[in-house]
Amino acid sequence: MRVSIIGAPLAFGQTKAGVGLAPSALRKGGLVEALTQLGHTVVDEGDLQFPRGKLHEAEVELPEAEFDGARRNLFEEGDTTTTTLSASVTRVKNAREVGESCRLISQKVCRRAKEGDFCLTLGGDHSIALGSIPGILAARPDTALIWVDAHGDFNTPETSPSGNMHGMPLAMVLGYDTHKLPDFNWLLDEELRKLTPDRVALVGVRSLDAGERRLLKDAGVHVYSMSEIDRYGIGQVMDRAMTAINGDGRRTFHVSFDIDSIDPSEAPGTGTLVKGGLTYREAHTILEMVAETGLLTSLDLAEVNPELDINGQTTALGIELIASALGKSIF
């Protein structure tokens, strides 16, 4: 297999410096060598050059009237979940920078996918998926998505308590971008928006905001929480997830893997730690099982932050996980 490595050092979707250093750290940690040892031909595309700026200096204001109306439509009168929604947040942080960066990611991923390559996109924060997934869909429109994450990433500008774009990409690739954020006009192209909720499985979630909880239920995304993994085991959960989104086995898979899906004891180097996550073996099993189908054709790795890491532990784990996705196994 020919593997194209696409560095996407995007940090504007969240608040903590350091996540943009991950592609370089993964390369220095031996990523290319690990994939070459598995017999793959590796083409390193280098890091994309994104718009410059400072974290969260730029914000897009949303009209109060539109915001309030959208919030009323999302929550029924008397719904107690509204008590945890911040009515004061009417802005999206760094939307222009994220939008332009993701357009570049999408173009690069699409080109490499059309060449038949396995596309490995290295974040950066998880807003990179707003580029990688549309790029894959433009080249391989019948792709199914496995989103591995502690969080739902299903907020919208109306529901987000923080305004951080790394909490919105899964909703946005499914069409939840009602405010048509600046520099996201390119995402309105129908060729980039062929994903439907029935082809999406969210695995490992354990932290949801009130607004995204409601949206996920209404959307019909297949959600497999840590509670279900505890109850049934990761093997059974993954069998269910892959069958749900690809029952006839004709679709290819894209996996978007957020390193914070793993318990902080195993992956401390990330910006939004949540206790009670995947174990080391559960994380590997997810990627090994998808790899064994022979249908995995693209992968994101997001939210590794070398500046928050302990002795390179999370970076090393990221390399191991990528190797599992690309065929490394015990036998």
- pLDDT tens digits for 101-123? 999 999 999 999 999 999 999 99
Identify the pLDDT of residue 83.
Answer: 31
Task: Please check whether residue 331 lies inside any domain of the structure.
Answer: no
Model pLDDT for residues 47-82, shown as the tens digit of each residue:
999 987 776 666 676 655 444 444 444 333 334 333
Residue 186 pLDDT greater than 50, yes or no: yes
Model pLDDT for residues 161-181, shown as the tens digit of each residue:
999 999 999 999 999 875 678
Instruction: Respond yes or no: is residue 100 known to be catalytic.
Output: no
Instruction: Respond yes or no: is residue 125 known to be catalytic.
Output: no
Task: Please check whether residue 26 lies inside any domain of the structure.
Answer: yes
Please give the average per-residue pLDDT across 132-141, as a whole number. Answer: 96
152 to 16, 100, 111, 147: CA distances (angstroms): 19, 23, 29, 9
Task: Please check whether residue 29 lies inside any domain of the structure.
Answer: yes
Instruction: Respond yes or no: is residue 254 known to be catalytic.
Output: no
Give the pTM.
0.91
- With contact defined as beta carbons under 8 Å apart, do 113 and 296 qualify? no
Instruction: Respond yes or no: is residue 76 known to be catalytic.
Output: no
Average pLDDT, the chain: 90
Task: Please check whether residue 303 lies inside any domain of the structure.
Answer: yes
Instruction: Respond yes or no: is residue 151 known to be catalytic.
Output: yes
Instruction: Respond yes or no: is residue 307 known to be catalytic.
Output: no
Give me the catalytic one of 40, 151, 222, 254.
151
Domain containing 102 — which CATH number? Answer: 3.40.800.10
Task: Please check whether residue 162 lies inside any domain of the structure.
Answer: yes
Residue 193 pLDDT greater than 80, yes or no: no
Nearest residue to 192 via CA among 304, 298, 86, 102? 102
Check residue 15 and report its DSSP letter: S
Residue 230 pLDDT greater than 70, yes or no: yes
In this prediction, what percent of the chain has a pLDDT beyond 70? 89
Residue 216 pLDDT greater than 70, yes or no: yes
pLDDT band at 144 (very low <50, low <70, confident <90, very high): very high
Give me the catalytic one of 258, 263, 288, 300.
258
Instruction: Respond yes or no: is residue 183 known to be catalytic.
Output: no
d(CA 26, CA 109): 19
Give me the catalytic one of 125, 153, 177, 228.
153
Task: Please check whether residue 330 lies inside any domain of the structure.
Answer: no
Nearest residue to 15 via CA among 120, 119, 164? 164
Give me the catalytic one of 97, 125, 149, 263.
149
Residue 311 pLDDT greater than 70, yes or no: yes
| Structural domain that includes position 21 | 2-325
In this prediction, what percent of the chain has a pLDDT beyond 90? 78
| Cα angle 189, 214, 220; round to 5 | 55
- What lies within 8 Å, CB to CB, of 157 at 6+ separation is 62, 67, 92, 163, 168, 177, 178, 179, 181
Model pLDDT for residues 257-302, shown as the tens digit of each residue:
999 999 999 999 999 999 999 999 999 999 999 999 999 999 999 9
Identify the pLDDT of residue 128.
Answer: 98
Q: For the chain, what percentages of helix, strand and coil (3-state, to nearest 5) are there?
A: 45, 20, 40
Task: Please check whether residue 152 lies inside any domain of the structure.
Answer: yes
Q: Give me the residue label for tokens 């065929």.
A: 327
Give me the catalytic one of 40, 125, 158, 166.
166
d(CA 60, CA 42): 39
d(CA 18, CA 250): 39
Give me the catalytic one of 40, 126, 222, 284.
126
Give me the catalytic one of 260, 282, 288, 309.
260
Identify the pLDDT of residue 71.
Answer: 41
Give me the catalytic one of 45, 282, 303, 309.
303
- With contact defined as beta carbons under 8 Å apart, do 63 and 22 qualify? no
Task: Please check whether residue 228 lies inside any domain of the structure.
Answer: yes
Instruction: Respond yes or no: is residue 166 known to be catalytic.
Output: yes
| Selection from 32-41, 67-76, 155-164 with the highest mean pLDDT | 32-41
Identify the pLDDT of residue 86.
Answer: 37
Domain count, the chain: 1
